[in-house]
Each structure stands twice: as C-alpha cells, then as structure tokens.
C-alpha cells in the first residue's frame, strides 16, 4: 500500500490574520488538558495557552495541545486555534514548543527590533535561522510530513508582546521586522511601566494603547490585546485590533463561582431573618 503524502497542517489563525478577519480569543491559564479541551470547544477563534504565569512546562503543554486538537467544537463550528506563550523569548524554549507542534507563538517582553529579529531566527531553520533540526518530531507528524523542514515556515505564526514604555518607543521598528506576524499589547505590564500599576484604564495608558494599535496597523501587521472589559474590547476591535482576547478562564471560574455563592448565601440569610 502506497503511503499518502502528508502536508503541514494549515494554520487557520495565521490565515485569518492575513485576511484581516478579527479573531476573538480566550486567555487560558488553568494548566490542565481537561480545561484546554473544554475551552477549545467553546466557540472562540483562538485560545492562549500560557506558560509565562502558570506552572505549565513543555510535557504539560504537549498534553494541552493534544487536548485542543481533539476538542469537539460548539454548535458545529470550528475548534479554537492554539496560541502558545513561552515563558520567555528564548531560542531553546521556542524550539521545544515548535517541536511538540505549536504553530503560533506569543513571545513576551520583546523590547526592540533586535529581540524581534532573534525571535524570527529562532523559529526558522538554517540558513535563515537557528532552529535546531529535531528529526522526527511531533510537529512533522513524527517524520511523516516529508517536506516539513522546507514548508513549516508557511504555517508558523510569530506574535511578539510589547508591554513597556521603552518597547512602545521602539514599536515601529519592532513591527516592521520581517517575519513578525503580529504585535500584542500587554495592558497590565504597560500600565505598571507607565507609572499606573493595576490601572490599565488610566487615560494615559488607554491613549498609548490606541496609538500602538494604529502604529501596528500602519506597519501592515496584526494588532492584539487582552481586554476583559467588554466595552473596551469592542472599541479595540473597532479600532482595528485583529486578535483580541476577551476573557480569562481562571477569572470566569473564580468570579462566576463567587457570584453564585454570594447569591445563595444572601438568599439563605434573608430566609433566616424572615423566620424571626
């Protein structure tokens, strides 16, 4: 029996950004394949699988990627695309996440064009880059995709995170680096860097974010952000941000559970009071 030729999986998230189609996402920080499968089937276009601020490591992320790939989409739609955030813009971490099958990476704390160019080189094989040859890795379906090395770059999507005042000053140079597909603005860290920790809604921060989105778009790249306030999230989308995360799984669980507990406890307290 002749083997069927296999190709690198299509990166639907990257294709959507190229087409200018807004992608609505969910930020996932709960390090469990069970959770990853659940949220990937909820109907979001993409789900961010975080390792920067979670205890997730490479073996755990492998299981989360497998869970996302196996998710059954909600109401007949399409399961979410996985976006993996390594803990740092580090070529060893980047190599390991690519080898286990991540196709879209969001790299934190990129401060200048040199760091952006280093990220591009980290995802590419020589001679264009420095990604190590891993042999029959999961990304190549264990060697079954015969031309993986030659075609992988077409379906890899590289996003870099700009989250300080200094980085904003370098934004135009960062966004214009060839090989960068999108730039993500981190409101929380940016607000702290601008002297307003814990207050991303400060007018100075909001104005800086608006200018950043405009700059990224002018450079021909996709702009992204995480905003859990629905009104603000819609404003970012209207301004032209293409990949917008509108919620965090941990916050949905925690605040939802707290609200439910509060409702029932207040009802119970009222019932006790009415009996006296």
Residue 141 and residue 101 in contact, taking contact as beta carbons nearer than 8 Å: no
Q: Band the pLDDT of 269: cuts 50, 70, 90.
A: low
Q: Please, which pLDDT band fits residue 274 given cuts at 50, 70 and 90?
A: low
Mean pLDDT of the 24-47 span? 98
Q: Please report which confidence band the pLDDT of residue 267 belongs to, taking 50, 70 and 90 as the band edges.
A: confident
Whole-model pTM: value is: 0.95
pLDDT higher than threshold 60 for residue 3: no
Q: pLDDT digit string (tens) for 41-80?
A: 999 999 999 999 999 999 999 999 999 999 999 887 889 9
HEC secondary structure over 152-212: HHHHCEEEEEECCHHHHHCHHHHHCCCCCCEEEECHHHHHHHCCCCCCCCCHHHHHHHHHH
> 116 φ, ψ to 5°?
-65, -45
- Give Cα 208 distance to the centre of its chain: 21
User: 202 catalytic, yes or no?
Assistant: no
Q: Tell me if residue 38 falls in helix, strand or coil.
A: helix
The mean pLDDT value for 172-179 works out to 98
Q: Does the pLDDT of residue 210 top 60, yes or no? A: yes
Q: Please give the share of the chain, as a percent, with pLDDT higher than 90.
A: 91
For residue 1, pLDDT over 50 is answered with: no
DSSP state of 45: S
Instruction: Give pLDDT, residue 77.
Output: 84
Q: Considering the chain, what percentage of its residues have pLDDT values greater than 70?
A: 95
Is residue 241 predicted with pLDDT exceeding 80?
A: yes
Determine which one of 18, 34, 53, 204 is catalytic: 53
Judged against a pLDDT cut of 90, whether residue 225 lies above it is answered with: yes
Looking at residue 74, its pLDDT comes to 87
Average pLDDT of the segment spanning 142-152: 96
């Amino acid at each position: 029996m002749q083997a069927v030729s296999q190709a690198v999986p299509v990166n639907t998230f990257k294709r959507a950004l190229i087409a200018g189609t807004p992608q609505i996402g969910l930020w996932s920080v709960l390090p469990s394949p069970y959770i990853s499968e659940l949220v990937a089937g909820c109907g979001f276009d993409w789900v961010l699988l975080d390792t920067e601020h979670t205890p997730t490591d490479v073996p755990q992320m492998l299981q989360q990627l497998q869970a996302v790939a196996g998710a059954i989409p909600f109401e007949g739609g399409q399961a979410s695309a996985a976006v993996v955030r390594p803990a740092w813009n580090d070529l060893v971490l980047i190599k390991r996440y690519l080898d286990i099958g991540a196709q879209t990476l969001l790299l934190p704390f990129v401060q200048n064009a040199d760091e952006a160019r280093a990220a591009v080189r980290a995802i590419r094989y020589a001679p264009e880059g420095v990604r190590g040859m891993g042999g029959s890795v999961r990304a190549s379906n264990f060697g079954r995709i015969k031309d993986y090395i030659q075609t992988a770059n077409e379906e890899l999507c590289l996003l870099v995170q700009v989250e300080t005042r200094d980085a904003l000053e370098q934004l135009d140079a960062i966004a214009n680096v060839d090989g960068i597909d999108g730039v993500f603005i981190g409101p929380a860290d940016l607000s702290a860097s601008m002297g307003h920790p814990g207050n991303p809604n400060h007018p100075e921060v909001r104005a800086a974010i608006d200018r950043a989105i405009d700059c990224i778009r002018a450079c021909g790249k996709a702009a992204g952000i995480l905003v859990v306030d629905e009104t603000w999230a819609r404003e970012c989308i209207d301004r032209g941000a293409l990949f917008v995360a509108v919620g965090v799984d941990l916050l949905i669980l925690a605040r939802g559970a707290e609200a439910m507990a509060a409702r029932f406890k207040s009802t119970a307290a009222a019932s006790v009071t009415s009996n006296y």
